[in-house]
Structures are given as C-alpha cells and as structure tokens.
Amino acid sequence: MTGLRAFTGALTFAVLAAATFPALAEGDPAQGETLFRPCRACHMIGDGAVHRVGPHLNGIVDRAIGASPGYQFSDALANAGAEGRVWTEGSLDRYMAGPSDYFPGTRMVFRGVRSEQDRQHLIAYMLAAGGRSEAGAELAEVAVAPEIAAILEISGDVPYGEYLSSECTACHRDSGGSDIPSIRGLAPSVFIAGMVAYRDGSREHQVMNTVARRLGDEELAALAAYFAVAH
C-alpha cells in the first residue's frame, strides 16, 4: 500500500466527505425562519448564538459532523466526524428527514421533517442566518466519486478487516517511515479513496494496483474499519 501517504496530505477530511447527493431544490430563507421556530427550543442560530440543549447552528454547513467546541455530541455524531464526514446541504437534508434513521444513536429526539421542500427552506434559512463554516469555505469543492461514497456506507467488519490486514502490514509497519507510512488510525474516507484510486488505475503503482484489484467493496470497507481503530 505504498503511496497512501500522498492521499493523507492531499485529501482533507472535509473534501473527502463532500456530498454525493443530487442537486437540491432552492429554499426560501423567510419560510425557513418560520419553520425554524420549533427548533429554537433546543438550537440557537445567528448573532449571539450559544449551545443550549442542542448545539448552536452557526456555520453548520461545511462543518465537520459532531464538531462544535464546547458541546458534547453523541458517539454516533462524534464518530462520523472522526471518519471525515461533514454537514453539507445534502447530509443535512437526509438528517432532518429522520435523524435517528440517518444516524442511529443520535440523542436528537425529533421524528423529522417529511416535506423535502420544507427541509430546503430550513437549510436556506440556516445558511442565511448562520453562514457556512469558515474552515469548510476555505476548502476546494471536490465531489466524492459515487463508488467511494457507496463503500463508505458499508458497515465494515473489523474482525474480517484484521484478518485481511496481514498483506498490508507486511509493508506498512506500525512505526511507519518516509516511504511507507503507517496506516493505523487512518480515516476510512482516506483509506478507501486511496485504494479505489489504485484499483481503478487512476494512481499507478505495480504492487498497489495488483493488491487493490483483488479487493471487493466489502473487503475495502472491512480493512478501512479495522485500520481506523487499530493502534
């Protein structure tokens, strides 16, 4: 797996987690403000916003999921952020449609907004009132390939990944090195993006191309899950 180091430097977590959702209908911030009124029981947004029962929503778009200083998120959201996922218009739309369906384990007690148009009004209002994340706004807008997104949706089998990992760790030692870095603790998004690039030939390395082409999506998901938690 020589060469994955290039991906860790070139692909930031937010870029890799960019949405692969279809274009969303344009929302009306004024209507969104009205729809947001029940949300104010838990969330603040705009000037002077602070955390309440739920986190404030300033700069939520393009912000890493489960990451807002001073607020303790559920493990489900914190782990998503650790994997490199961010709040985009698309992921917010899916989350608001059914929070516990999109992120099982979330502490948000809300059954969701059924109307797609209403969700777009809400997102438009959140953008108007809270803006985008400053960190996210500085990143290039790069769409993740559907193939990568599909593998990220697979729940990787960690024990299976450990079983498969011996071929990787034959070269990628725990201590790493200048040419062959350690891949333990690597975010799944980075690992999968690198392996898919070797598998489809967009990155060339004789050994890596051979190894990657032997691995299916389930195996990549398992390896990514294992290396994310391996220490």
pLDDT tens digits for 37-69?
999 999 999 999 999 999 999 999 888 888 888
Q: Is the pLDDT of residue 14 over 60?
A: no
pLDDT tens digits for 85-144?
788 888 899 899 999 988 888 989 888 999 999 999 999 999 999 998 876 544 434 445
Assess contact for 163 and 127: CB atoms under 8 A: no
Query: What does the DSSP 8-state code read for residue 61?
Result: B
- Judge if pTM exceeds 0.85: no
Q: Is the pLDDT of residue 76 over 90?
A: no
Q: Is 132 helix (H, G, I), strand (E, B) or coil?
A: strand
Q: Is 207 helix (H, G, I), strand (E, B) or coil?
A: helix
Nearest to 217 by CA among 149, 148, 151, 144: 151
CATH topology of domain 20-137: Cytochrome Bc1 Complex; Chain D, domain 2 (1.10.760)
Options 1.25.40.10, 1.10.1370.30, 1.10.760.10, 2.60.40.10; which CATH number does 4-13+144-229 get?
A: 1.10.760.10
User: Looking at residues 187-202, what average pLDDT do you find?
Assistant: 84
pLDDT tens digits for 126-139?
999 999 887 654 44
What's the chain's average pLDDT? Answer: 80
The pLDDT, as a whole number, for residue 133 is 84
Which residues make up the CATH 1.10.760.10 domain(s) of the chain? Answer: 4-13+144-229, 20-137
